[in-house]
Amino acid sequence: MTPPVTEPVWSRQQWVYFVRFMDFVKIGLTNQPERRIRTLASTLPLPIEVLGIHSGNGADEALLHARFRDQRTRGEWFKHTPEIERMAIEGFSALGVAPEDFTPDVFRTAVQRAGSIAALAVHLGCSRSAVDRARRTSWDAPRIRARIVAYVRDAA
């Protein structure tokens, strides 16, 4: 008899999560959010609060870590601030990037700061072709465009 087919324990879908512990917030990435939250809750001595879980990837997590670098205390832990809490609740829309914020000038500035399109792609954690698509079209690359605008704003 053939054993039943089961879903893999892990998923390719990734999630950026925000967990508050006392006056600190962990911004992390997982493909198993429920399991990760249970693990954190069992390893910390006091209760935790899940502030938000949003679909994302390593580049999104890196963008958040860079954005909140001044609040970083250790590793993926940051001082709790209203801005971090707003990001946790609202997700990436809290970056405040509107479609009209992405302009050819913003793109040129990002490439100049990074040194090249390839270097910008590495900094954003995506492929060069994703950056090229973000430059040429608006319908398939809004998150990449938001990252580029945030990169330029954060570097200013």
For range 140-145, the mean pLDDT: 70
Split at pLDDT 50, 70, 90, the class of 112 is very high
Residue 155: is its pLDDT beyond 80? no
What percent of the chain is predicted at pLDDT more than 90?
A: 38
User: What is the distance between the alpha carbons of residues 126 and 117, in angstroms, rounded to a whole number?
Assistant: 11
pLDDT tens track for 17-27: 999 999 999 99
